[in-house]
Amino acid sequence: MANKACARDHRSWGRYPKIRQQKVVPVYWRDDQIDLSAIDGTILPYGLGRSYGDSCQNEGGTLIDIAPLNRMIAFDEDAGLLRCEAGVSLADILKVIVPRGWFLPTTPGTKFVTIGGAIANDVHGKNHHVAGTFGRHVTQFELLRSNGERLICSPEQNAEMYRATIGGLGLTGLILWAEFKLRRVPGPFIASEQIRFRNVDEFFDISAESEHRFEYTVAWVDCLAAGKQLGRGLFMRGNHAWPNKVPGKKAGQRSLFTVPVDLPWFALNMVTARVFNTALYHSQLGKSKRKVVPYDSFFYPLDMIHEWNRLYGSPGFIQYQFVIPFDHDRSAIKSIFKQISDSGVLSLLSVLKVFGDVPSPGMLSFPRPGVTLALDFPVRGQHTLDLLDRLDRVVQDEGGAIYPAKDSRMSAQGFQSFYPQWQDFSQYVDPKFSSSFWRRVTRTTE
C-alpha cells in the first residue's frame, strides 16, 4: 500500500511549474499516533492533485498523501449529515448518497477531489449564487497540528481555526475527517436548458433572468470571438428533476476513457482553437435547447476524459480564474475579454459565472460577490505570462482577486493586494506546514 501511494503522480493538475524535488509520506489511519514533527523539513497535505498550480506542491519538502484516508465514518440519513475521512473523494460520496436521495451541497467541476481538498480550497460550484461555498456547509472537522495537538473545529469550537482552515490551502494542519450537510434531491437527474448568447451583454441579461429560477448557472465563452460577438457563448442552467428514471438514459457513471500520452505541444494552436470554438458555438442550431440529463454529465463533463490535462502537452497549462465586483457595470469584463481576444494568446476552455452574495466562512476564501471567469492557457512562454500580468493589474484595479487553488504565477505583491487579510491568517499557519505557493506569495515586497 505504501508503494502504491508513493507511486502516484504527485504533480499539480496543470503540471506547471515543474516541481519534483519532494518526498511523499502516506497516512493510513486517522487514530494512529501520527508524529508530523519527526518529518524533516516542511510538510503539506496532498489529496488527488486537482489543484492546478503550486498550492499543492512543496518543493524541497514533504507531501503528506491523504488518499489512503478514504473511509466513511457515519451517515445520518434523516438529517443529511455525512462524516468521512479527509481522503474520501466526491465521486465516492456521490455513489453512496445519490441513490438515497441526497446530493452534495455544492460541487466543483470535477468529482475527483477529496473532502480535505474541498475544505482547504473552499471550493464553489454552479450554485454559488444560492448555496455559497463548500465550507459553508461544513459542520465540524478534526485537525492534527505538528505538535501532536488534535483540534475539533466548528463554528462554535475553535472557531478561528475553523475559519482559517476553510480556504486555508492546507497550511493550518492535517484535516483527518470532516462532517458536512447534504441537500435533498428528488432524483439523479437535472432538468437543464442551454441557451446560445451572442455577446457579453446578452450573457448578463440571461444570468440575471436565471438567478431566481435556477439553482445552477454557468456559461462557456468563446474567448477568441471579437467585435459584436465579443464574449459569445453557451449558457447552461438547470434544477434537480423529479424522475428516478429517464428512458434511454443511465443515472450512474458515464463510460470513461483516458488520454494515453501527452499531445505534441503544437497540436493546440490558434487554428485548431478557432475551429473548436466555432464548432462548439454552432453545435446548437436553435436559440435554446432543453433536456433532462444525468447529474454526472451536467456537473462533470470533463471527468469523462481521464488525464485530460495531457491534451496540453508536456509544457502544461495555466488555469487562470479571477473574480471582480459586478455592479451592473460591464465595462471591466468587456475590457478583459478584448485584451484576451487581441493578445493572440491561445485560450481554450473559458467558464463565466456570476457569484452571489452568500458569504464564505473562510479567512482566505476566494469567492465573493461579482463575476468570475476561468480560462485555460497552454504554457507558451513569456507571451502568455505577460498577458496574465496585464490581467492581474485589471483585477487589482477593480478590487477583485485571483483564485489561489488555480494559481501558479501571481506575484507576492498581487496576492497581498488581493488578500489583505493574509497576515491575520498567517498566525494560524502551522509552523511546520508550507507550500511552494505560500513561500512565493508571502515574500517581502518592499
Pairing outcome for strands 62-65 and 23-26: parallel
Q: How far apart are CA 32 and CA 34, in angstroms?
A: 6
Report DSSP letters for 255-271, one per residue.
P-EE--SPPPGGGS-HH
Contact 278, 326 (CB under 8 A): no
Pairing outcome for strands 72-76 and 81-85: antiparallel
Contact 108, 125 (CB under 8 A): yes
Q: Who has greater pLDDT, 19 or 123?
A: 123
Residue 62 grid coordinates:
514533504
Long-range contacts of 155-158 (CB under 8 A, 24+ apart): 155/361
Report DSSP letters for 44-109, one per residue.
EEE-S----SGGG--TTSEEEE-TT---EEEEETTTTEEEEETT-BHHHHHHHHGGGTEE-SS--S
Pairing outcome for strands 43-46 and 62-65: parallel
Q: How far apart are CA 309 and CA 144, in angstroms?
A: 32
What is the band of 199 on the pLDDT scale with cuts at 50, 70, 90? very high
Task: Please choose, from the candidates 230, 221, 319, the residue with its C-alpha nearest in 3D space to the C-alpha of residue 273.
Answer: 221
How many percent of the chain have pLDDT more than 70?
Answer: 93
Q: How far apart are CA 216 and CA 27, in angstroms?
A: 36
Pairing outcome for strands 288-294 and 189-197: antiparallel
Q: Who has greater pLDDT, 172 or 241?
A: 172
- Residue type, position 108, single letter: P
Q: How far apart are CA 173 and CA 428, in angstroms?
A: 9
Contact 206, 116 (CB under 8 A): no
* pLDDT tens-digit map of 429-445: 999 999 999 999 998 76
What is the band of 2 on the pLDDT scale with cuts at 50, 70, 90? very low
* pLDDT tens-digit map of 46-85: 999 999 999 999 999 999 999 999 999 999 999 999 999 9
Report DSSP letters for 366-412, one per residue.
---SEEEEEEEEE--SHHHHHHHHHHHHHHHHTT-EE-GGG-SS--H
Confidence (pTM)? 0.94
Look at residue 415 in the predicted model and tell me its pLDDT. Answer: 97
* pLDDT tens-digit map of 95-152: 999 999 999 999 999 999 999 999 999 999 999 999 999 999 999 999 999 999 999 9
Mean model confidence pLDDT for the chain: 92
Cβ atoms within 10 Å of 61's Cβ, excluding its own = 21
Report DSSP letters for 277-303, one per residue.
HHHHHTT--SSEEEEEEEHHHHH-GGG
What is the band of 3 on the pLDDT scale with cuts at 50, 70, 90? very low
